[in-house]
């Protein structure tokens, strides 16, 4: 038996079956109960005609009698050894001084000459993570098709909540009763993806923000993946998560090792709040102690490709006047880049647009007290570019057919040493020559038939090369911050977060869409790593016209920025932006260090109303957003958990802009919010009557 435990969580393993079997994953139990559960495993009834229990081990094997989807698929030359059977050879367990515990279980198949090492960790905060290593000990090549991690779940996990999306519509959810059979999501985009991000929840039917058991899983990987949730006819349920490998993508030479991406999982006995608390705490430990998140202006929707020094400097002047702390020059600054059809890969400043280079621009920005940032898309190339004309062989696509273009561009093969060296050299040179404090790292095209120079599928190695490139940039320029952007939120996961400080959560600045996107993203990531900007009055991506108040209030709860040509804004609009920036700065010690408070408002109102909040570490200050997203007539009572039950909170409203919505009987409503933390959890408070597509911000101060 292995029993990894924190005060709130236990994970119990039986290691007699070659690969560890998760006997129990749930609330804390003692060692005696854990041992009883392990003893019961051998007494399980036969599954069908198999004479011994067919177990969903962390890597279930068809050769052991497992009739579900195997965790390992592969074979030696000629198709042999495709159904291996492993025997446990070594078990090692360690307990850390911080309350964390870990285990390593080694198993071998002497006949197939394979070695499987399972690495398990339960952190002090209750994050359960697993990686598996497969080593080829034979003298023949081993072609690996799949190696995934399996998490068996109890029958009480009757429902699934899955995540899907699209460009400008990331982090959408659906909840379904877990059917008999398999629910499968496959991502083949070469990035984390908008469409099928690697997150899944299994839960009880009554699960909400604070109620019901929930088992959440995430694959920390920025490439292709597969998620499988199967309920078998015997009512056994399991999640299976791993990298999706294209045909022939991983071939293990003698002695080679393949390591799965980490599967990170959280158990909660009290709904989504604990899931969010645990994942966000882990995210904060990964990114480290971030400085105060600078209010950022990005030039993209302010000028698109219409660059000139005078326009950039005029925008920088206005940005500084409203309190912007970081100024990012987006796409359009390099050779031949007058639209999106040309120039990608030619990372040289276009002197036709900037005759004196970017030095004077960067200097002017920094002299105004702002950091200077620059946009790159290092993994891509336009066919209409000098680098492609010189090196057409650098494209990650070899099919014998015409190239498949996406956004009029192709993927650059970073698995090639020469292409990799070129990109790193250009990044290093620009970051050395200019006072660049921030890089917006974009990736706008999925992988299609991604193959290296030998014609072998290469998304796996391209993803590893991306990590290496980010690591090299960080090594050469340790003080430069990096944003992960992929047409918005197409690359958001915990592995890339080890190398960046910010995600561009979505390409849409439409505040109504952003409210839902950010709320769901907050199940996994804290506000300070989720970029959100105040956009123009009419959203570029949806043509929705929104009030300045709604746009400001939505950006308030994230890493706040501006993406709007405020040079053309009215005097009143500029004053409002300066005001909300100042309010944000005054409260970002709460917003970017506190705990996100989830409510059941969206579940109760069908996404028409959303209440979102953050409470400070000392529980004395809480910032709340009441957003009316769509028409809804019935009264809504909002309960807040996570405040100090013994404190009395006094409510005040933050006016974010001149066009803030009017609240009927506002003073009376604010008095109703002024109550103890205990009353907030038991009695709650009423949602105000608001116009459609409007938001009200409130601060609760406890004493």
Start-to-end CA distance of the chain, whole Å, equals: 49
Domain boundaries, the chain: 48-284, 296-379+416-447+469-589, 596-702
Cβ atoms of residues 510 and 275 within 8 Å: no
For the range 423-427, what are the long-range contacts, defined as Cβ-Cβ under 8 Å and sequence gap of 24 or more?
Answer: 423/347, 423/378, 423/469, 424/469, 424/472, 424/473, 426/347, 426/348, 427/347, 427/376, 427/378, 427/473
**Active-site residue, from 109, 442, 604, 660:** 442
Burial 61-84 (b: 16+ CB within 10 A, else e): bbbbbbebbbbbbbbbeeeebbeb
How far is it, in rounded angstroms, from Cα 470 to Cα 475? 9
Query: What is the model's pLDDT at position 46?
Result: 56
What confidence tens digit (pLDDT) does each residue in 440-490 have? 999 999 999 999 999 999 999 999 999 999 999 999 999 999 999 999 999
CATH T-level fold of 48-284: Beta-galactosidase; Chain A, domain 5 (2.70.98)
**Active-site residue, from 81, 330, 507, 604:** 507
CATH entry 3.20.20.70 includes domain 296-379+416-447+469-589: yes
Q: Is 592 left (phi over 0), alpha (psi -120 to 50) or beta?
A: alpha
Helix (H, G, I), strand (E, B) or coil at 213: coil
CA angle 529, 533, 534 (to 5 degrees): 150
- Length of the chain, in residues: 703
Query: What is the model's pLDDT at position 559?
Result: 98
CATH entry 3.40.350.10 includes domain 596-702: no
Characterize the bridge pairing of strands 296-298 and 559-562. Answer: parallel
Read off the pTM.
0.97
Query: What is the model's pLDDT at position 463?
Result: 98
346 is catalytic: no
CA distances from 353 to 335, 349, 356, 384, 460 (A): 9, 8, 9, 18, 38
CA 430 to centroid of chain Cα atoms: 28
Query: What is the model's pLDDT at position 434?
Result: 98
Q: What are the mean pLDDT values of the chain's consecutive 10-residue runs (703 residues total)?
A: 94 93 96 94 64 86 93 95 96 87 97 98 97 98 98 97 98 96 98 98 96 98 98 91 97 98 98 98 94 96 98 98 98 97 98 98 98 98 98 93 94 98 98 98 97 96 98 98 98 98 98 97 98 98 98 98 98 98 98 96 90 97 97 90 97 97 96 97 96 97 97
Cβ atoms of residues 549 and 572 within 8 Å: no
The residues that bridge with 118 in the sheet, in sequence order, are 105, 132
Query: What is the model's pLDDT at position 43?
Result: 63
Please determine whether the domains at 296-379+416-447+469-589 and 596-702 fall in the same fold group of CATH.
no
109 is catalytic: no
Characterize the bridge pairing of strands 142-153 and 250-252. Answer: antiparallel
Structure-token pair, residue 464? 């590893």
């Amino acid at each position: 038996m292995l029993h990894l435990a924190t005060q709130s969580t236990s994970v119990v393993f039986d290691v007699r079956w070659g690969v560890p079997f998760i006997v129990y994953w749930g609330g804390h139990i003692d060692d005696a109960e854990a041992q009883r559960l392990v003893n019961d495993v051998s007494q399980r009834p036969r599954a069908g005609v198999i004479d011994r229990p067919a177990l969903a081990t962390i890597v279930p094997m068809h050769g052991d009698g497992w009739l579900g989807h195997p965790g390992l698929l592969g074979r030696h030359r000629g198709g042999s050894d495709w159904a291996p059977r492993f025997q446990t050879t070594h078990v090692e367990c360690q307990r850390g001084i911080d309350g964390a515990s870990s285990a390593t279980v080694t198993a071998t198949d002497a006949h197939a000459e394979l070695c499987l090492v399972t690495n398990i960790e339960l952190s002090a905060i209750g994050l359960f993570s697993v990686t598996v290593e497969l080593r080829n000990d034979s003298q023949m090549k081993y072609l690996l098709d799949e190696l995934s991690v399996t998490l068996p779940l109890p029958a009480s996990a009757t429902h699934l909540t899955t995540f899907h999306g699209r460009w400008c519509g990331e982090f959408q959810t659906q909840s379904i009763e877990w059917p008999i059979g398999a629910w499968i999501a496959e991502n083949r985009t070469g990035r984390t993806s908008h469409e099928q991000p690697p997150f899944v929840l299994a839960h009880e039917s009554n699960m909400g923000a604070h109620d019901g058991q929930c088992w959440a899983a995430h694959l920390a990987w920025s490439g292709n993946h597969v998620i499988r949730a199967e309920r078998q006819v015997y009512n056994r349920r399991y999640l299976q998560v791993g990298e999706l490998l294209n045909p022939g993508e991983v071939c293990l030479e003698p002695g080679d090792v393949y390591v799965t991406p980490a599967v990170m999982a959280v158990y909660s006995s009290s709904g989504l709040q604990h899931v969010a608390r645990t994942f966000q705490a882990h995210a904060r430990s990964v990114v480290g102690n971030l400085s105060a998140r600078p209010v950022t202006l990005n030039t993209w929707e302010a000028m698109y490709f219409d660059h000139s020094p005078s326009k950039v400097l005029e925008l920088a002047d206005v940005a500084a006047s409203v309190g912007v702390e970081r100024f990012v020059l987006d796409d359009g600054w390099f050779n031949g880049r007058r639209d999106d059809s040309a120039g990608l890969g030619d990372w040289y400043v276009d002197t036709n647009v900037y005759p004196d280079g970017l030095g004077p621009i960067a200097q002017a920005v920094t002299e105004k007290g702002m950091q200077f940032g620059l946009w790159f898309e290092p993994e891509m190339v336009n066919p209409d570019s000098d680098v492609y004309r010189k090196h057409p062989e650098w494209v990650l696509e070899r099919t014998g057919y015409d190239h498949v273009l996406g956004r009029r561009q192709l993927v650059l093969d970073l698995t090639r040493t020469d292409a990799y060296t070129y990109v790193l050299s250009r990044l290093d040179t620009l970051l050395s020559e200019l006072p660049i404090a921030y890089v917006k790292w974009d990736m706008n095209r999925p992988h299609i038939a991604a193959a290296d120079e030998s014609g072998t599928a290469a998304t796996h190695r391209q993803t590893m090369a991306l990590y290496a490139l980010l690591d090299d940039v960080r090594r050469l320029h340790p003080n430069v911050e990096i944003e992960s952007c992929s047409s918005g939120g197409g690359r958001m996961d915990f592995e890339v977060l080890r190398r960046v400080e910010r995600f561009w959560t979505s390409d849409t600045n439409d505040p109504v869409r952003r409210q839902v996107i950010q709320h769901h993203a907050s199940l996994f990531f804290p506000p300070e790593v989720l970029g959100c900007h105040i956009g123009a009055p009419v959203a570029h991506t949806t043509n929705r016209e929104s009030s300045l108040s709604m746009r400001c209030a939505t950006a308030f709860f994230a890493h706040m920025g501006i993406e709007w040509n405020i040079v053309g804004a009215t005097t009143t609009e500029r004053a409002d932006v300066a005001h909300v920036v100042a309010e944000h700065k005054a409260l970002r010690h709460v917003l970017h260090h506190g705990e996100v408070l989830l409510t059941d408002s969206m579940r109760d109102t069908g996404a028409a109303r959303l209440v979102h909040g953050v409470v400070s570490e000392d529980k004395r200050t809480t910032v709340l957003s009441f957003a009316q997203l769509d028409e809804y007539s019935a009264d809504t009572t909002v309960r807040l958990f996570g405040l100090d039950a013994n404190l009395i909170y006094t409510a005040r409203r933050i006016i974010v802009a001149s066009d803030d919505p009017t609240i009927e009987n506002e003073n009376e409503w604010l008095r109703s919010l002024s109550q103890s933390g205990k009353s907030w959890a038991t009695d709650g408070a009423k949602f105000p009557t608001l116009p459609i597509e409007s938001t009200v911000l409130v601060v609760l101060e406890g004493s």
